[in-house]
Structure 1
Amino acid sequence: MGDSELEAIRARRMAELQQQMGGQDVDQEKQRAEALQREQEMKNTMLAQLLDQSARARLNSIALVKPEKAKMVENMLINMARSGQVGGKINEEQLKGLLEQVSEKTGRSGKVKFDRRRLDSDDDDY
């Protein structure tokens, strides 16, 4: 066997090994993606059962602007439901209360404060 034949055999074997290893990684990645999708579907189903239409719309609007805050509220709602603290559908006003609780926990008031500085009269002379 010549060097070129050995190189061709080695290249084919390396390609086969990479294909086998890559196939396993792809399968694991598919399984992870499917598990995440199932988890998200279960979460959406629970939230649909917990929230009325206006509260769900508000939560979706918040998720567009502040996704981390919306996730915190979603997790809070799911935990409340699992522990039996929710006694029916949550309306928009109740959701606002939960949002205020989350804002207090995170330390952000959600209000913007403007600090306007006035110019001295000396600066007006150009």
Structure 2
Amino acid sequence: MADPELEAIRARRMAELQQQMGGGSSTDEQQQKQEESRARQEEMKNSILVQVLDQAARARLNSIALVKPEKAKMVENMLCQMATQGQLPGKIGEEQLKSLLEQVSMQTAKKTTVKFDRRRMNLDDSDDDY
């Protein structure tokens, strides 16, 4: 390998490294922007929920969020969507929130069944071999 070829390879490698180092800072900036946008969205959602829910309903939703965060997120998103579309006449009380929670539960409910095969238990004759 001649010296000019070696220098060209070194120059390409150096350019790649510089690009990676420069790209790392832009990735950090992108992550920071994404975090800021998530924070803004969360703040908007919280302000909408404060306007839409009364105190008792808000407390119930917060306690549900502790136990089942995915269910609480679904209800929060549904409430925000209803509020932005103008489907909510006023503040939602605890009873109305309960009915919304029941609707979400019915949509996400999965039936689980347990089936016992008792015949296997009777066919096991390992004790009779002695």
Specify the alignment match of 1:102 in structure 2: 104
Q: How does 1:1-126 map to 2 (within 5 A)?
A: 16-107=18-109
For residues 71-102 of structure 1, the C-alpha deviation after alignment (integer angstroms, 9 at most, x for no partner) is 11111111211222211111111101100111
Return the offset for 1:18. Answer: 3.4
Return the offset for 1:16. Answer: 4.1
Aligned counterparts of 2:70 and 2:14: Cα–Cα separation in 1: 48
Alignment RMSD:
2.2
Aligned counterparts of 1:66 and 1:57: Cα–Cα separation in 2: 14
Which one has the largest radius of gyration? Answer: 2
Aligned counterparts of 2:83 and 2:105: Cα–Cα separation in 1: 20
Return the offset for 1:107. Answer: 1.9
TM-score with structure 1 length normalisation? 0.71
Percent same amino acid at aligned positions? Answer: 55
Which stretch of the first structure deviates more once superposed, 46-55 or 11-20? 11-20
Gaps of 5+ in 1: 1-5, 110-126
TM-score with structure 2 length normalisation? 0.69
Cα gap change, 1:17 to 1:85, in 2 (>3 Å): closer
Aligned counterparts of 1:102 and 1:31: Cα–Cα separation in 2: 33
Q: How many residues align?
A: 103
